[in-house]
Amino acid sequence: MATCGGTQVFILILCLSELLTVGILIFSHGFLLTRQVVLFNSSCEDFKIEEDHVKTKIKESTNNGKGLSAECWMTPTFRRAVILLIDALRYDFAAYNHSLKVGEALHYQNKMPVFKSILQSRPRHAYLVPFIADAPTTTMQRLKGLTTGSLPTFIDASHNFASEEISEDNIVDQLVSCGKRITVLGDDTWGGLFPGRFNQSFLYPSFNVMDLHTVDNGVLNHLEKEMLQDDWDVIIAHFLGVDHCGHRYGPNHPEMAAKLKQMNSMIKKVVDNIENDTVLFIFGDHGMTRTGDHGGDSRDEVKATLFLYSPVLDIMHSVFDGEHSLPVAQVDIVPSLALALGVPIPYSSLGRVMENIVVTVEHSREEADHRQLVALAQNVKQVRRYLKDYKNLGNVFPLDKWQRLEELNGIMLPSIENLSPKEQKKVYIEYLTLAKLMCEEIWAKFNVSEISSGLFLMFNSMLLITVFTHCSFIIKNKIPIVKRVLFLTVLVNALFVFTPYSRISVLGYVASFFMITWMCIHRHIFTIESIYLNKSDCTSLLLAVLMCLGSFSNSFVVMENYVVAYILLSSLLMQILIPFLKRPRKKNTKLSVDSYFLLYAMLILIVFMSVRLSSWFWKCREEQSWCSPSQVHTPMTGLQQSLRNWRYFTSLFSLILLVWLPRRWLLMCGNLNGSRLGVILFNSVPVMCGVLVAAYWALQASPTLHNVNISEYVVIPPRVNYALTLVYVTAFYFLPLLIYELPQSNTRTSMQLLLDNPNILIPKLCQTLMEKYNEGNQRTSSVPVVYGLATAVSAPLVSLLTVILVVIVMVAGDGFTPAVVLLLVTAVASLLLQAISSWKTADSLSMIMKPSWSAVCTWFILSIHGFYSTGHHPTFPSLHWSAAFVGFEGEWNGSNFIPALLVGFNTFSSQILFGLALPLVLLAPLAVGVIFPKLRCNSRLETEEVRHGEFLLMDEPDKAEDALVFLGLSYILLHAAKVFCSAVSAFILRRHLMVWKIFAPHFIFEAVGFMITGCSVLAGIWFTLRIIKVLKSWSEYLHHKNS
């Protein structure tokens, strides 16, 4: 537990952060709407009678009609279907490029000639076409679209970790209800989406993107054997090797060529076993970028492959020429498969039937036209019914499009038979196309009242935080005010119990009213201090505000990694130049002005070089066409052998620096003396964790990784590392001190040591304690000498951060270890610059004990810079999915909490790191002033108290707590301002062409990052308060011991 006052500090920051979070959640609920599900199911009886209105007589051939199921909506074309879903099969993986000469093809080009061969030898029976996916292009959302025929909304991307059962009407349920027997093989996602639906299943863990072969080999072991059986009507085989190969190596890699050749061989065997009553579907659920990622809506991500084949399929009546470029929407496969097999189209499907799927070679031209019209007519009836029911649920369609649909409906109902077949077909296609476009538009509909309510609540929360950061009431009235803030927070959260009885937007406005009322009632308590902002503070705040306002520009969001680096360097440079130019030269200083200028120049140069070098680790966005992907994003196993050793030893050297630099600092400060548990742990655990990480990298890069005996050991080092880190953090929480009291010998020896070493790196106990110890009996008491007391607060925090840094580089991957080291060097150099600047400009010691706005702004900008320098972007394709398998093989018994946690830890590692390390902004000037006394350079502050270092926080507990309140709230306020600007920009630009591609993902990443930042800040401040409490207890114990 922290002290009573410390607990109040923690509660105050927690409550104000939580109020901001409530506003963000209300905004998200209005902005990221999910589609309303219509829980009705289609049945065979729906349109049987109405089909008689379509004057067609279908002549069924003997071969094609034998064994077909009873008529349902229309006569089926095929009895059975084989569906081969090759995950991430991009269109150019399958389409043969005739312009390439031998040896010119990339690793993913012309490796599947089976499609070209079939199209050339059997052009009448085969069909190859681009298969266009709807964003987001994550596997979960694509499977939902491919089985329900509906369009997933943007927020559904968050469900990619959870294989929730599909409750909406879908093709699998329709097949089962019509007595079709389904055998599924491959990706175990199918078992989560459709539990209990399959006659037979051979499913394998799918989430381990490092595993290219387990799922595919499992499918291949059963596919051919199952096709020879007669106990199935539909076979679904979902291959994952191509997708996993893209994630692991990228598309242009020899492993991708090998995987595509394996699929090519498999397809040859399957095609040879397709009978006349069977249709073959081969398609990809999405594509992939040039780096092997997916999730967005770029051309390479949405353009997958669709290949149809049957020995009796007839493409000749089509306007197509076999292999062509006219695309097909992925939702179109649902009505096509349903009518081809004679089952109802799922209720909520918006797809358009592919007319060729209902025509065989046994049909004449007239019969083929009739069947295509019947299929389109039934398709239109199904979509029209769905739109009517969806509208009856209270949803509103765009008036212009709905009126046009009503006009087309008026044409179809009374007079469709009077039109020619060509005109009928044109009307049907226009209706289906317009219906899909209209639904795409309304499912981007926003709840403006909830959005406004959330923004208003966020603004009021930020206003309240701003007041708290500049109030002087806290010292006098801390406990009653914090209790009242806690009451306000509970009251605001309690409002949402009434969500079933009131609109969320109304509750949000009521919460804002409570906050405004609370501020008005307590206005007499608030005493705003005279806000003094020097030029450095103003400049830093201006740059931070400009960075936040940049969220309104799509160009800024795309280029944010460049802009943030520029703002960081500009902010640091201005903070140093302004005080340096402002103060006149003084002759009687310990260091000359020229020496300070050289020191500043050296630190600025280090920051410039670190920031510049960190650009090597930036990840390329799709919009950054000039950007070439760096090899650091390629796993070590994907590199050439000559580069693999260079990568390993570079990463190993960086890892050594990561462990050695903090250790060197604590040795310099005298915190690693004695035999306290914390000292023993710090001397051993970070080194052990580093060795385990190095062993993990070596096992990963082993050329015999696919050997079972070796791969079994790959997960052991990370798991041991997690366990050691947990034990280490727990031990440091309960026993955080890293100080050492010299054993008492006699007063003369102790005093002589102090007199001989007035500025030693092992600081003496502060004057306050000396006076306490000398009270009473000065003859028998001795003055204790304590190692590491001047850095007693920061040392445990540095020790904790060291191990967390090692875990971060382990989860991030070997390629990003130098990036983390560069980020660490940048942060340390920035802290030194801030510390020196504080000592140079401060007029009193109280100014040293309170962080400046410029220091907080720098830390804020650094946290955002760290996000980009560790290879991230606010886009879903940039997520490092490989982090989910650090220490795990991909089997979590149905729970994806651990992989989601690891991916989140990797993505927001910078926010976590800088949030935990935030107290160092307060502690750095105090520590630097003692460890490097010549850097104080301010004769007005040369008092005995200056030499106390961080122990000043014990001398002035109220000022220390106020400083922590200001530090935590100001840092959270800056992040809240960035989230707020991102939310406002997403709202204002909600009709912008790039809203779902740029602004919405940017807001989501900012919102999640803010919540993680808040948690990290709270954890860092709580740990700091814990250290202060233990240090105070030790001080009291020492006082009683020496009394």
pLDDT digits (tens, 9 = 90+) for 770-784: 444 444 444 444 556
Answer with the residue of higher pLDDT: 551 or 138: 551
Taking residues 182-202, what's their average pLDDT? 90
Taking residues 846-858, what's their average pLDDT? 88
The four Cα atoms 90, 96, 99, 102 give a dihedral, to 10 degrees, of 100
CB-based burial label for 55 (10 Å; 0-12, 13-18, 19+): exposed
On the question of pLDDT at 580 being above 90, the answer is no
Structure token digits, residue 1013: 């930042």
Answer with the residue of higher pLDDT: 955 or 23: 23
On the question of pLDDT at 344 being above 90, the answer is yes
Residue 471 falls in which region: left (phi positive, over 0), alpha (psi -120 to 50) or beta: beta
CB 233 within 8 A of CB 277: no
> Distance (Å, rounded) from C-alpha 607 to C-alpha 719?
35
pLDDT of residue 673: 87
Structure token digits, residue 828: 């340390």
> Distance (Å, rounded) from C-alpha 400 to C-alpha 393?
20
> Distance (Å, rounded) from C-alpha 985 to C-alpha 990?
8
3-state secondary structure 641-664: HHHHHHHHHHHHHHHHHHHHHHHH
pLDDT digits (tens, 9 = 90+) for 585-615: 554 544 444 566 778 788 889 999 999 999 9
**Greatest distance between any 2 Cα atoms in the chain:** 119
Residues whose CB is less than 8 angstroms from the CB of residue 1034 and which lie 6 or more positions away in sequence, other chains included: 737, 739
Residue 478: pLDDT band by 50, 70, 90 thresholds?
A: low
Min mean pLDDT across 462-471, 504-513, 656-665, 714-723 is at 462-471
Residue 978 falls in which region: left (phi positive, over 0), alpha (psi -120 to 50) or beta: alpha
Backbone angles phi, psi at 812, to 5 degrees: -70, -30
Q: DSSP class of residue 404? A: H
CB-based burial label for 709 (10 Å; 0-12, 13-18, 19+): exposed
Residue type, 472: S
Backbone angles phi, psi at 38, to 5 degrees: -95, 110
Q: Residue 620 belongs to what H/E stretch?
A: none
CB 898 within 8 A of CB 892: yes
> Distance (Å, rounded) from C-alpha 772 to C-alpha 781?
10
Provide the β-strand partners of residue 973. Answer: none
* Beta strands across the sheet bearing 328-329: 200-204, 182-187, 234-239, 80-86, 278-283, 303-309, 126-132, 328-329
Taking residues 288-293, what's their average pLDDT? 82
Average pLDDT, the chain: 83
**Total-model pTM:** 0.79
Q: DSSP class of residue 443? A: T
CB 884 within 8 A of CB 932: no
> Distance (Å, rounded) from C-alpha 403 to C-alpha 215?
49
Residue 1043: pLDDT band by 50, 70, 90 thresholds?
A: low
On the question of pLDDT at 850 being above 60, the answer is yes
CA angle 375, 377, 380 (to 5 degrees): 110
Q: Is it true that the peptide bond before 76 is cis, omega within 30 degrees of 0?
A: no
pLDDT of residue 610: 94
Answer with the residue of higher pLDDT: 825 or 50: 825
Instruction: Kindly report the number of other CB atoms within 10 A of residue 1003's CB atom.
Output: 27
Answer with the residue of higher pLDDT: 35 or 647: 647
What are the angstrom distances between the C-alpha of 250 and each of 254, 438, 698, 708, 830? Answer: 10, 36, 21, 24, 37
Q: What secondary structure does DSSP assign to 502-549, as a single string?
A: S-HHHHHHHHHHHHHHHHHHTTTT--B------HHHHHHHHHHHHHHH
CB 31 within 8 A of CB 986: yes
In the chain, what is the straight-line distance between the N-terminal and C-terminal CA atoms, in Å?
Answer: 27
Q: What secondary structure does DSSP assign to 927-977, as a single string?
A: HHHHHSGGG---GGG-SGGGGGGGGHHHH-HHHHHHHHHHHHHHHHHHHHH
**Residue linked to tokens 């009270």:** 775
Q: Residue 815 belongs to what H/E stretch?
A: none
Min mean pLDDT across 631-635, 679-683, 1028-1032 is at 631-635
Nearest to 112 by CA among 265, 239, 300, 220: 265
Give percent above pLDDT 90 in the chain. Answer: 44
Q: Rg of the chain over CA atoms, in angstroms? A: 34
Q: What secondary structure does DSSP assign to 547-559, as a single string?
A: HHHGGG-HHHHHT
Taking residues 350-375, what's their average pLDDT? 88
